[in-house]
A = this chain, B = another copy of it.
Amino acid sequence: MSDRPGRVPALQQVPPDVVCLPDYAAHARERLDDNAWAYLAGAAADEITLRANRAAWDNLALVPRVLRRLTGGHTRVELLGRTLAHPLLLAPVAYQRLAHPDGELASAHAAAAQGAGFILSAQASTSMEDVARAVLPEAERGPLWFQLYMQHDRGFTRELVQRAEAAGYEAIVLTVDAPSHGVRDRERRAQLKLPEGVSAVNLARLPPAPRTQIDRTQSWVFDALMPDAPTWDEIDTLRSHTNLPLLLKGVMHPEDAREARRQQVAGLIVSNHGGRTLDTAAPTAWVLPRIADAVGDAMPLLVDGGIQRGTDVLKALALGARAVLIGRPYMHALATCGAIGVAHVLRVLRDELEVAMALCGCRTVADAGPQLFFEAP
């Protein structure tokens, strides 16, 4: 990171005053320039959804249980045919070398060490093959998935999927909530530029998009961007390119969840992209139970958006999620002290989940349900 003078260098260990995920933010801020901070911490427009995501978890009131026999309890979950030690995954985040020179390798190592899932972003700043090689073999780590944006060049998109499968990724996560880049004003104010040496290396060979000609009466969004956006009728084709299970990330409407069930996708990630695409989108904690109602047990549901406490994880499970993704908190830890920070975040979150389960009388995640919540009269 010597190429970014003036910054406080990353640490080699967890700072002594960091005891929970939110504690990392201030440390990360010190270590990131305005550019990287705007990218990692910002969200769309007025960042209302960013704050609402957090508040929605906080506002769910739990009712503790007492004196239950919980010996031998555990946090294990079944997901896509594997039994995981706990329901935590690292969300796909682009350009992790913005945060720390070790970038995605650090995050993937930490996830592997903690038995957490890792979802590599299509816009990773590290080669997908390098990441996969670094964390094998599968039996000793959590799931390794590859996140995909449908690229304007569908042939290249197919290659990406097949490279991912060949490299050992176990699932494809198609992000469907960002057909256009969100209106991320904080980034735009900071005039985000990737520093030298940080780029989307896995997309390096993507042919440049043909320059769409639009006239004054046409719309950049509808006439230039949307023709490249993925649609429901491409899901089958995408699946035909690979034996890997396909999950959709960014499903928020029950009708879309039902369509996904009809198309028999392998799972859904209820997400508003951490508030980074559509500001004032409903918080995921409100949406999750509606999606669970809509599709029942047909496929596993995952969720992200503001999760940073063990109680948040327990609430997500109680509302119908099989597992959760965290994003900003691990990026803040990565910026602060690299892989050791990311591993610490996962360890703390898992410990907090266990404590929350114990205090709510849950021996296993199957015990988490709507009865955990205080219902206002």
Contacts and interface: CB of A to CB of B under 8 A. Distances in A.
A233 B272 CA distance: 46
Nearest to A69: B231
Interface in A212-261: 217, 219-223, 225-227, 229-233, 235, 248, 250-253, 255-256, 259
A67 B278 contact: no
A309 to B, nearest CB: 6
Q: Is the interface of A mostly helix, strand, loop or mixed?
A: loop
Contact of A250 (B46, B64, B71): B64
Interface in A109-143: none
B73 A177 contact: no
A68 interface: yes
A23 B355 contact: no
20 contacts: A16-B191, A19-B185, A19-B189, A20-B183, A45-B311, A46-B309, A48-B58, A63-B287, A66-B179, A66-B251, A67-B230, A67-B256, A67-B259, A70-B229, A71-B223, A71-B226, A73-B221, A182-B355, A278-B359, A278-B360
Interface of A: 16-17, 19-20, 22-23, 45-46, 48, 52, 57-58, 60-75, 85, 176-177, 179-180, 182-183, 185, 188-189, 191, 217, 219-223, 225-227, 229-233, 235, 248, 250-253, 255-256, 259, 272, 277-283, 286-287, 309-311, 351-352, 354-360, 363, 374, 376
Given A67-B231, A69-B232, 19 more contacts: A16-B191, A19-B188, A22-B46, A46-B58, A60-B280, A62-B278, A62-B280, A65-B252, A65-B256, A66-B250, A69-B231, A72-B222, A73-B221, A180-B355, A182-B355, A222-B363, A282-B374, A286-B374, A286-B376
